[in-house]
Amino acid sequence: MSKWVVDAENITKVYQMGEVEVHALRGISVKIAPGEVVAIMGPSGSGKSTLMNIMGCLDRPTSGEYSLNGESVANLSDDQLAEIRNRGVGFVFQSFNLLPRATALANVELPMRYAELNGRNRKEVSRQALEAVGLGDRIRHRPNELSGGEMQRVAIARALVNDPAIIMADEPTGNLDSKAGDEIMKLLRTLNEERGTTLIVVTHDPEIASLTDRIISLRDGRIKEDN
Amino acid sequence: MNLGASLLEALESLSSNKVRTALTMLGIIIGVGAVIAMLAIGTGTKQAIVGEIEGIGTNLLFVATNYEDVTNPEPLTIRDAEALNDPVFAPSVAAAAPIVQGQAELTYASNGTTASLVGVTEDYSRVQTIELSEGEFFSSTQVNGLASAAILGTNVAEDLFERSEGLVGETVRVNGQPFRVVGILKKEGGSDFGSSTDDQILVPLTTAQARLLPRREHNQVDLIYVSAIDSDSVKSAEDEISLILRDRHNLKLAEDDFIILTQELFLDFASTVTGVFTIFLGGVAGISLLVGGIGIMNIMLVSVTERTKEIGLRKAVGAKKRDILTQFLIESSLLSVIGGAVGIVLGWILSLGVGRIAASSDFLLNPAITLNAVLLATLFSAAVGLFFGIYPANRAAQLEPIEALRSE
Ligand SMILES: Nc1ncnc2c1ncn2[C@@H]1O[C@H](COP(=O)(O)OP(=O)(O)OP(=O)(O)O)[C@@H](O)[C@H]1O
Ligand SMILES: [Mg+2]
């Protein structure tokens, strides 16, 4: 294991909107150690999601150096990035992003299917992941038969099923009430403590941020504060 | 991602919108059904025609005057036919029977009809299967003696006498001249094309030449039927006929003023014609299959658009381009292959129906579904699914993960 899970060096991201260039990130350098729990905060449009997508290898920086688990992503193909996301990153989204027709179990299984893991193992591992998020009795439910909090738990089970080094959650509590949001945060913290999974949470909510160890504040694509 | 799981997932996805899936398949079902039915009908027609041609006998050759290519051909005569019957110069010829043919007005009492008149010699029964329900075929005495004798087909007999039995000895008028009925031809039944012997009246060749169908030259005949001693001798018979006639017509270097037609020639011609016919039918049906394919492409594009977010999620959790590509290709192929299978059944039912209709109008057609046609349709529909699926699937595979995730 390398010293840093996340190692970003002077990252910029520029979106070309026709004639106009949108500078979403203007030179961000950040290092995150294994097992850290980090919140990314900042006003809307400050570049939080953009930064997280780059850290999760969903997107590439316009310039700068980025390494995930010590592996530089600069020269990797789309499919190689997909493999890195599959093995190394678990995503949790604000809008859950579950497959609507699939059961909780099938949803959790999805990353393993792209990892080409053996079928019987997959079911067992998925079931265990659902148990770990407290949904052992909901494995046959489909998303429309689950509450928002439960759906987010399924998403968390899906994120951790390939045992990634890092879980990235973009406003995971944004669509939940404060009680359900609290529970989700507690769950994420527990996973961090039990498994040592690095956790990065994008949030607007100071309450949520207070449950983390380190807060990175962004403004206009730059780091304003990091402590 | 393993294939079994992908298939299952594709089936699930297709069954989640059953009406749309069914409608999309309908295009392929109709296309494949049409291809199968049309090919079956084409093949059936070919078999019917080939059967008919083979029915005239594999040994048979026809010799006719070549009016097409030669300006002043010497007509064929009875003497030519006699020369062809010479076993020394034409060892491959079993029999040569000259005929003249035309139309004649027949009357009996107040009944009248028009029939096709064939003037024949006693050898005619050696080149054609002649079966009489009563009476006897012409003898050489009758032919040489210009006898006023006639053999009637059953339809002709029915038209004149309102029966087709017990007619030997009756007298009919042919173009006003009295002829004695000496025989009745057995009923042949429906013929697929050309005329049936049921509508014929046979008279001695000499009589016809002299009194009914006068030709420009004395002894002139319209056609000589030649049968070869066996089917392997058709080619040598053809050569012998050609030699003898060229010599008799004194052609030296000039072009043949006669033509020799063999069954093979007819078969070649018929299979060319029916082949073109089949390809044409299949092609028209193929177009509807193509339209079905475009339907698949259309619906797959809609499906990709609808599922952009799902595609983004799959990519986020590690799906590679290839995974997304196969997912959509499997769906489009399933659409077309299942549609194709149903279409084969539909085509089979259709061609059975056409066969029934044809049978009820006396046209003997057995639509034949060949294994080739089924394989062709299966392959073609799978190919249609793949081909028209590639564009939408590729579009899905090329989506950028975040862009896709961000879409609503
Ligand atoms: N695909 C894109 N094309 C053009 N501009 C973009 C694109 N994605 C983001 N941006 C711009 O980049 C900037 C940063 O966006 P980002 O989504 O990272 O903000 P954010 O901090 O996550 O905001 P929020 O809290 O509202 O989610 C914004 O100004 C946004 O308009
Ligand atoms: Mg955001």
Residue B259 lies in a domain: no
Residue type, A103: T
- Residue B175 sits in the same domain as residue B39: no
pLDDT 10s digits, A177-204: 888 888 899 999 999 999 899 999 999 9
- Residue B195 sits in the same domain as residue B310: no
Query: At B365, is the secondary structure helix, strand, or coil?
Result: coil
Residue B43 lies in a domain: yes
Query: At B191, is the secondary structure helix, strand, or coil?
Result: coil
Residue B201 lies in a domain: yes
A41 Cα to the center of ligand 2, angstroms: 10
Residue B68 lies in a domain: no
Please report, for chain A, the start and end positions of each structural domain, with discontinuous segments joined by +.
6-226
Range B384-389 average pLDDT = 90
- Residue B354 sits in the same domain as residue B235: no
Q: Which ligand is nearest to the CA of A204?
A: 1
- Residue B300 sits in the same domain as residue B208: no
pLDDT at B57 over 80: no
What is the phi/psi pair of residue A208, to 5°? -65, -45
Instruction: Assign B194 a pLDDT band (cuts: 50, 70, 90).
Output: low
Residue B253 lies in a domain: no
pLDDT at B192 over 50: no
Instruction: Assign B39 a pLDDT band (cuts: 50, 70, 90).
Output: confident
pLDDT at A107 over 50: yes
Other Cβ atoms within 10 Å of B311 Cβ, number = 23
Q: Tell me which residue in B12, B314, B321 faces A101 most closely, judged by beta carbons.
A: B12
DSSP single-letter state for residue A28 = E
Give, to the nearest 10 degrees, the angle between helix B18-55 and helix B263-306: 180
Structural domain for B360, as ranges: 3-54+268-406
Please check whether the domain covering A6-226 is classified as CATH 3.40.190.10: no
DSSP single-letter state for residue B212 = I
The mean of the pLDDT values for chain A is 91
The mean of the pLDDT values for chain B is 88
Residue B260 lies in a domain: no
Structure tokens, B241: 């006929």
Q: Where are the alpha helices (DSSP H) in B92-231?
A: 124-127, 140-144, 154-161, 205-207
- Residue B272 sits in the same domain as residue B243: no
- Residue B15 sits in the same domain as residue B91: no
Range B274-281 average pLDDT = 86
pLDDT at A61 over 90: yes
Range B168-179 average pLDDT = 93
Q: B16 and A101 in contact by Cβ < 8 A?
A: yes
Residue B111 lies in a domain: yes
Q: Check residue B381 and give its pLDDT.
A: 84
Does any ligand 1 atom lie closer than 6 A to the CB of residue A16?
Answer: no
- Residue B47 sits in the same domain as residue B163: no
Instruction: Assign B51 a pLDDT band (cuts: 50, 70, 90).
Output: confident
Instruction: Give the E-state strand segments of B136-251 in sequence order.
Output: 149-152, 171-174, 177-185, 200-204, 223-228
Q: Tell me which residue in A53, A59, A82 faces B318 most closely, judged by beta carbons.
A: A82
pLDDT 10s digits, B95-154: 999 999 999 999 998 999 999 999 999 999 888 888 899 999 999 999 999 999 999 999
Does any ligand 1 atom lie closer than 6 A to the CB of residue A17?
Answer: yes
Residue B299 lies in a domain: yes
- Residue B104 sits in the same domain as residue B141: yes
**Residue of chain B minimizing CA distance to A162:** B317
* Residues of B (297-316) whose Cβ lies below 8 Å from A: 309-310, 312-316
Q: Which ligand is nearest to the CA of B407?
A: 1
Residue pointed to by tokens 């048979």: B60
- Residue B31 sits in the same domain as residue B145: no
Question: In total, how many domains does chain B have?
Answer: 2
- Residue B30 sits in the same domain as residue B125: no
pLDDT at B12 over 80: yes
Instruction: Assign B217 a pLDDT band (cuts: 50, 70, 90).
Output: confident
Residue type, A112: M
pLDDT 10s digits, B338-379: 999 999 999 989 888 888 887 777 666 778 788 888 888 888
- Ligand 1, atom 19: nearest CA belongs to which residue? A45
pLDDT 10s digits, A92-101: 999 999 998 8
B310 Cα to the center of ligand 2, angstroms: 19
- Residue B32 sits in the same domain as residue B97: no
Q: ipTM more than 0.85?
A: yes
